[in-house]
């Protein structure tokens, strides 16, 4: 199991890609964090994030992508794609974007992206609106990132 977990975390860290319309030097760092509950001195329970070195079924993992524009010019029309790792399910409403962007999802391995209410799946001949369990990819569309600025996007999954 330890080996599988290590491979899982490593595969997640390499599942991000970004494309920018211009040739600005963009850097992308992807990190995975495990959501844990800690109890403080007063007995209050608080959620915290720790490096996702070991995960087990039922754990919530937060994936955070840090996008940095290392140039002196604005970067425009950037698209960041994340694969939702195998053996996980997307946590509903967990995708977020610092500073605003468009968030889209795919149910077909990243071939097509749309807003959640427009995603359809067919199971056993019945067409229905997709749910978070059907999502295979998350996409963020950022229109602009200022010179020498950084932003982040994130989403959560639950390990099956």
79-115 residue pLDDT tens: 999 999 999 999 999 999 998 899 999 999 999 999 9
Cβ contact 46:58 at 8 Å? no
pLDDT band at 4; cut points 50, 70, 90: very low
114-140 residue pLDDT tens: 999 999 999 899 999 999 999 999 999
Residues ≥6 apart with Cβ < 8 Å to 11: 85
pLDDT band at 7; cut points 50, 70, 90: very low
How large a percentage of the chain has pLDDT more than 90? 69
Q: What confidence score (pLDDT) does residue 21 get?
A: 55
38-82 residue pLDDT tens: 898 999 999 889 999 889 999 999 999 999 999 999 988 899 999
For the chain, the domains span 2-159
Q: What confidence score (pLDDT) does residue 123 get?
A: 87
CA dihedral over 103, 62, 112, 68, signed as positive or negative: positive
Q: Does 13 have pLDDT greater than 60?
A: no
- The predicted model scores a pTM of 0.82
Residues ≥6 apart with Cβ < 8 Å to 87: 8, 159, 160
Q: Does 10 have pLDDT greater than 80?
A: no
Q: What confidence score (pLDDT) does residue 12 get?
A: 45
CATH numeric code, 2-159: 2.60.40
User: Distance between CA 143 and CA 114 in Å, rounded?
Assistant: 17
Q: What confidence score (pLDDT) does residue 35 get?
A: 87
Residues ≥6 apart with Cβ < 8 Å to 86: none
């Amino acid at each position: 199991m330890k080996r599988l977990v290590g491979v899982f975390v490593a595969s997640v860290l390499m599942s991000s890609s970004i494309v920018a319309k211009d040739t600005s030097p963009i850097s992308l760092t992807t990190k995975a964090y495990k959501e844990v509950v800690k109890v403080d001195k007063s007995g209050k329970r608080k959620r915290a994030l720790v490096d996702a070195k070991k995960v087990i079924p039922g754990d919530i993992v937060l994936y955070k992508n840090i996008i940095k524009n290392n140039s002196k010019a604005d970067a425009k029309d950037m698209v960041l794609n994340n694969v939702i790792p195998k053996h996980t399910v997307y946590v509903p409403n967990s995708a977020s974007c610092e500073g605003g962007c468009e968030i889209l999802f795919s149910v077909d391995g990243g071939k097509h992206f749309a807003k959640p209410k427009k995603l359809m799946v067919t199971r056993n001949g019945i067409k229905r609106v997709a749910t978070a369990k059907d999502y295979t990819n998350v996409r963020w569309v950022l229109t602009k990132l200022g010179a020498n600025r950084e932003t982040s996007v994130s989403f959560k999954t639950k390990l099956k």
